[in-house]
Amino acid sequence: MSTDRTTGLANWILTAQCPSRLGTVDVVTRFLREHGCYITEQQSFDDASSSRFFIRTEFRPPGGGGPSSIGSADGGFSATDFEQRFSERAAEFAMTFELTAPDRRTPVVIMVSKADHCLNDLLYRYRTGQLPVEIKAIVSNHPDLAPLAEWHGLPYHHCPISADTKSEQEAKVWQIIEDCGAELVILARYMQVLSSDMSERLAGRAINIHHSLLPGFKGARPYHQAFEKGVKLVGATAHYINDDLDEGPIISQGVEPVTHADTADDLVARGRDIECLTLARAVALHLQRRVFLNGNRTVVFQR
């Protein structure tokens, strides 16, 4: 962070990870105590399989100045001062960390094709303040949802794609993401496979949603295929994208039982509802800094 930011008694978020070793919790809690910060929530996990330690702490900075507080010139809390001082302690543990302000609104680009259920749900949560984001743009390979974006007063970029124009289209999409300063890309039923290059560029900062059905049904009309097989569960998976189609690190999953009485259209409707809820949950967890990448897996500190 390049400039100081000040706030009142709202909760800040400190997330960190490092190699497993003695004293990893203490380095965080002791520092906060020494500087008069009150911990309101804390979760940690030590992964024996990777020898990595993960911790997420919400804290309230001191209300006034004082010799032990981390403050700016006007007596408020200084993020820059905090980071500079904590980095000295963190270096002893090879610990990387991030400090997030309570009023932080993450800049986001949403990508979509023709299906509007996930986009509608995200826009509602954005409009009502449930998701702390600033939607900078909506990108689609079809023009169909432009009126929905216009109703919300959001920029809509129609970027058509074909097998011959894939590289040019992705270059245009990437430029939009860069120009917007987007820190998160949400694939809200964007029905195109991203290239390896695009997936690598967006690693850890792009969330996708897709159906989860057993057995696995790929291709067109997966819910209708599931109906023909008489499935008893429908579900959805939200994950970070990677170069493996629909196999990125999982953030959230949802499932709902169905019966023989449900029609194929019933399965589609239930699937859409689960996709909306699962995607929104994954986005919220990411925004709240509750998700850590751990190789091909994730560490997720639930609310």
Q: Which one of 31, 65, 100 terminates a domain?
A: 100
Each residue's pLDDT tens digit, 13-31: 999 999 999 999 999 999 9
pLDDT average, residue stretch 77-102: 95
Quick one: 139 and 272 in the same domain?
yes
Quick one: 286 and 142 in the same domain?
yes
Q: What is the pLDDT of residue 5?
A: 40
Asked if residue 227 lies in contact with residue 263, where contact means CB atoms within 8 angstroms, the answer is yes
5 in a structural domain: no
Q: What is the pLDDT of residue 9?
A: 46
On the question of pLDDT at 214 being above 90, the answer is: no
Q: What is the pLDDT of residue 52?
A: 97
Query: What is the band of 216 on the pLDDT scale with cuts at 50, 70, 90?
Result: confident
78 in a structural domain: yes
1 in a structural domain: no
On the question of pLDDT at 75 being above 60, the answer is: no
6 in a structural domain: no
How many domains is the chain built from?
2
The CATH number of the domain holding residue 173 is 3.40.50.170
pLDDT average, residue stretch 184-192: 96
What is the phi/psi pair of residue 128, to 5°? -90, 0
Quick one: 152 and 200 in the same domain?
yes
**What are 127's two structure tokens?**
């409009």
132 in a structural domain: yes
**157 to 118, 145, 169, 177, 261: CA distances (angstroms):** 18, 10, 11, 11, 41
On the question of pLDDT at 4 being above 90, the answer is: no
- Whole domain around residue 80: which residue ranges? 12-100
Q: What is the pLDDT of residue 67?
A: 41
pLDDT average, residue stretch 69-92: 82
Quick one: 251 and 295 in the same domain?
yes
Query: Cα–Cα distance between 28 and 11 in angstroms, integer?
Result: 16
Quick one: 190 and 273 in the same domain?
yes
Which residues are part of the catalytic machinery?
246
Quick one: 112 and 242 in the same domain?
yes
Helix, strand or coil, per DSSP, at residue 135: strand
Q: Give the distance, in angstroms, between the CA of residue 24 and the centroid of all CA atoms in the same chain.
A: 25
3 in a structural domain: no
56 in a structural domain: yes
**End-to-end Cα spacing for the chain:** 26
Q: What is the pLDDT of residue 71?
A: 57
Asked if residue 219 lies in contact with residue 191, where contact means CB atoms within 8 angstroms, the answer is no
Percent of the chain past pLDDT 90, that is, above it, reads 78
Angle between helices 117-127 and 264-287 (to 10 degrees): 40
Tell me what the pLDDT averaged over the chain comes to.
90
Quick one: 207 and 134 in the same domain?
yes
Quick one: 183 and 61 in the same domain?
no
pLDDT average, residue stretch 45-62: 95
120 in a structural domain: yes
Q: What is the pTM of this model?
A: 0.90
Each residue's pLDDT tens digit, 242-293: 887 678 999 999 999 999 999 999 989 999 999 999 999 999 999 999 999 9
Quick one: 95 and 135 in the same domain?
no
Percent of the chain past pLDDT 70, that is, above it, reads 91
pLDDT average, residue stretch 237-241: 95
Quick one: 180 and 57 in the same domain?
no
Quick one: 93 and 110 in the same domain?
no
